[in-house]
Chains A and B, each alone.
Chain A
Amino acid sequence: MNVLNFDSKQCERVRRQLDAYLSNELLVETTDEVLKHLESCAACSREMESRMRVREALHHAVASQLPPEHLREAIHERLKRAQPGLLGGSRATTWTLALAAMALVVIAVAGGAQWLRLRHGRQLVASVLTLGVSDHVQCAIKGHNYPEVANPPDQLRQKLGPEYAALLPVVQEKLPDFQVLEAHLCHVPGSPREYVHFITRGHGTILSVILTKREGESLPAGRFLVAGAPGGVDLYKAHLGGMDVAGFESTGYFGFVVSDLGQNQVLQIAATLGPALRSALDETAGLRRCEIIAKEIPTQRPQRHGENAKRLEINDISCNLLTLSLCLCASVFNSFTASEESEGRAPLLSSTFLRAARVSRIADIPAYPYIAFNDLPKLRALQKQFPDLYRRQMREGAEWSDEAGA
């Protein structure tokens, strides 16, 4: 290796610039300076020439290396075969994927919400249908409240009372294979709840037809429906506590057909019975409404207030009855489903209770604007001392001070 010694600082500086000069990376002024020095310095000029020769030789040698012929074709074939895939598409693809991902999230959220609604709906249906099952089990099966020989129709009509007597022939007509052994208004032990109960026998088993007031509550529609019977009656079915139950809604009532005959047969009976009972109940309700309206005319007078209070008391009882029935329904439902769905029971109970409170108007007292609250301390004292009376007074709008003192 030759080591050249330079006494010129100019040479040293120019040689530092030679690489950049070769690559054409120098500023114009610096290039001019380098060129001037190269013209005057033979050693630097030779060095520059050497570097350029090496560079050109390298360029020539490398550039003459051509790719093999098959490489171009191989690349073409691989490109044709290659599927860029989901992430290798165009910008449109990227956006499409982003939108698809967002759609998936939305669908998942909506699906989750729908699932919760379905779950809640199923629980609601089950809780209402449980009501019928518990009535059947308590009264007909465990209580055995029916004779071996059917009671005469007159006796049954008497037991049903004028409000529901008209339903007896409907049940008898629509259940030709069943004998109506017993029909009565049934009370749940330890509860003020009341329901209409037809106990029939046929196909070697006992079948109950139960009607209970629903006070504006209704079962969820949509996919919970099993079928829509002729006459616009929606049907629901379930197998609870070893019993098959089919439910339907009528004007103001929930109807249940309960037995151990099998779900399809029970459903078929409910489909036949539902529309007929609904018509009969509508007719009865219509007559009752006429009767109430007729009675309401004299109740406008203050001296008839006592009768009015009595009639309204019935409504109050029915509201409370529904509250208690729904609470009972929830507790019975829990006992039936204890082995099935332990989670989610608490929301059912709380929502059921709230609904019951709303229906019974306990939590909605200010909805009666005609009551004047002009003595709040006394009102509160009354509420604390006589809660039941307080509620009744609030609903009736009577002069509470007299009765409170009584």
Chain B
Amino acid sequence: MFFHSKSGLEDFEAAAMPHLADLHRTAKFLARDPSEAEDLIQEVYLEAWKSFHRFKPGTNCRAWLFKILFHRLHHLRRRLWKASRLEPLEGPTDPDNIMAEPPVPQEIRDDDILQALAKVPPDFREVVLMADVEEFSYKEIAETLKIPLGTVMSRLSRGRNLLRQELAGVAGLYGIRPYDERKRKGESA
């Protein structure tokens, strides 16, 4: 048998297509533009289909697809953004910095947080997306991104903090007061 059968394709689609939305939204916020994200997702599905014989039924198809997505994404990033690639940043170790938490707006609009997310460097952005949106465990993230567990934790911490900083900046542009500040004022009033 040199080619997949029709039923094989149906099996693959039944297993893989339900995760299209998850993969697409992750790709959308990590690729440079929506069309690149769409191309990336098509490539991911094509590659997954070609290697579907290696997929063990009953295992986590979603994690497998994300692994392919990040493999391709990192390949693309290495190729295109080599010059501007960020060096891995360590998590905050200075106790003073730990306490430097940016204020959070009372009302967080989708556009604001997406805009803030876009400003977070990709290495941190992908960990935040994997943990806070796709809700993968640290271990799964480490396996998918092929980085140590400690790096996952430090990037997540730093990524969340960066997101808050960017969110505060974006909200400030529209005159939205930070939530913490308003709450403190309300309490004092």
Enumerate chain A interface residues (CB-CB to B < 8 A): 1-6, 12, 15-16, 19-20, 22-23, 25, 46-47, 50-51, 53-55, 57-68, 71-72, 74-76, 78-80, 82-86, 88-94, 96
Smallest CB separation, B69 vs chain A (Å): 13
Which residues of A sit under 8 angstroms from B75, Cβ to Cβ? none
Are A58 and B133 in touch, CB under 8 angstroms? yes
Which residues of B sit under 8 angstroms from A67, Cβ to Cβ? 20-21, 24-25, 41
Enumerate chain B interface residues (CB-CB to A < 8 A): 1-4, 8-9, 12-13, 17, 20-21, 24-25, 28-29, 38, 41-42, 45-46, 49-51, 53, 95-96, 98-104, 108, 110-111, 113-114, 117, 128-129, 131-133, 137-138, 153, 156-157, 160, 163-165, 167-168, 179-181, 183
Smallest CB separation, A128 vs chain B (Å): 49
Residue among A3, A68, A89 making CB contact with B3, cutoff 8 Å: A89
CA gap between A82 and B24 in the complex, in Å:
21
Which residues of A sit under 8 angstroms from B128, Cβ to Cβ? 58
Which residues of A sit under 8 angstroms from B50, Cβ to Cβ? 82, 84-85, 88
CA gap between A19 and B38 in the complex, in Å:
32
Residue among A20, A47, A92 making CB contact with B101, cutoff 8 Å: A47
Are A46 and B180 in touch, CB under 8 angstroms? yes
Are A50 and B104 in touch, CB under 8 angstroms? yes
CA gap between A89 and B49 in the complex, in Å:
10
| A92: nearest chain-B partner, CB-CB | B1
Smallest CB separation, B31 vs chain A (Å): 12
Residue among A2, A19, A71 making CB contact with B153, cutoff 8 Å: A19
List the 9 shortest-distance A-B pairs measured between CB atoms, nearest first.
A61-B110, A57-B108, A67-B24, A88-B50, A50-B104, A90-B53, A65-B25, A62-B133, A19-B157
Are A12 and B98 in touch, CB under 8 angstroms? yes
CA gap between A82 and B108 in the complex, in Å:
44
Are B99 and A78 in touch, CB under 8 angstroms? no
Are A20 and B153 in touch, CB under 8 angstroms? yes
CA gap between A12 and B128 in the complex, in Å:
22
Residue among A55, A60, A72 making CB contact with B20, cutoff 8 Å: A72
Are B183 and A46 in touch, CB under 8 angstroms? yes
Q: List 23 A-B contacts (CB under 8 A).
A: A19-B157, A46-B183, A50-B164, A50-B180, A51-B164, A57-B113, A58-B113, A61-B110, A62-B114, A62-B117, A67-B20, A71-B20, A74-B42, A75-B20, A75-B41, A78-B46, A82-B46, A82-B49, A84-B3, A84-B4, A85-B50, A90-B4, A92-B1
Are A2 and B101 in touch, CB under 8 angstroms? yes
Which residues of B sit under 8 angstroms from A93, Cβ to Cβ? 1-2, 53
Smallest CB separation, A8 vs chain B (Å): 11
Are B1 and A53 in touch, CB under 8 angstroms? no
Are B180 and A59 in touch, CB under 8 angstroms? no
Are B53 and A15 in touch, CB under 8 angstroms? no
| B100: nearest chain-A partner, CB-CB | A3
Are B108 and A83 in touch, CB under 8 angstroms? no
Are A2 and B180 in touch, CB under 8 angstroms? yes
| A16: nearest chain-B partner, CB-CB | B98
CA gap between A62 and B115 in the complex, in Å:
11
CA gap between A3 and B165 in the complex, in Å:
13
CA gap between A274 and B51 in the complex, in Å:
67
Smallest CB separation, A86 vs chain B (Å): 6
Which residues of B sit under 8 angstroms from A15, Cβ to Cβ? 98-99
Are B108 and A53 in touch, CB under 8 angstroms? yes
Smallest CB separation, A109 vs chain B (Å): 25
CA gap between A275 and B133 in the complex, in Å:
94
CA gap between A57 and B165 in the complex, in Å:
15
CA gap between A330 and B94 in the complex, in Å:
93
CA gap between A5 and B96 in the complex, in Å:
8
Are B45 and A79 in touch, CB under 8 angstroms? yes
Are A62 and B29 in touch, CB under 8 angstroms? yes
Are B1 and A89 in touch, CB under 8 angstroms? yes
Smallest CB separation, B152 vs chain A (Å): 10
Are B24 and A54 in touch, CB under 8 angstroms? no
Are B41 and A71 in touch, CB under 8 angstroms? yes
Given contacts A55-B160, A79-B13, 10 further A-B contacts (CB under 8 A): A25-B138, A55-B132, A62-B133, A65-B28, A67-B25, A79-B9, A83-B3, A90-B1, A90-B4, A91-B53
Smallest CB separation, B37 vs chain A (Å): 9
Residue among A58, A74, A86 making CB contact with B2, cutoff 8 Å: A86
Are A54 and B28 in touch, CB under 8 angstroms? no
CA gap between A57 and B113 in the complex, in Å:
7
Among A3, A16, A68, A88, find the residue whose CB has the most chain B CB atoms closer than 10 A: A88
Are B103 and A54 in touch, CB under 8 angstroms? no
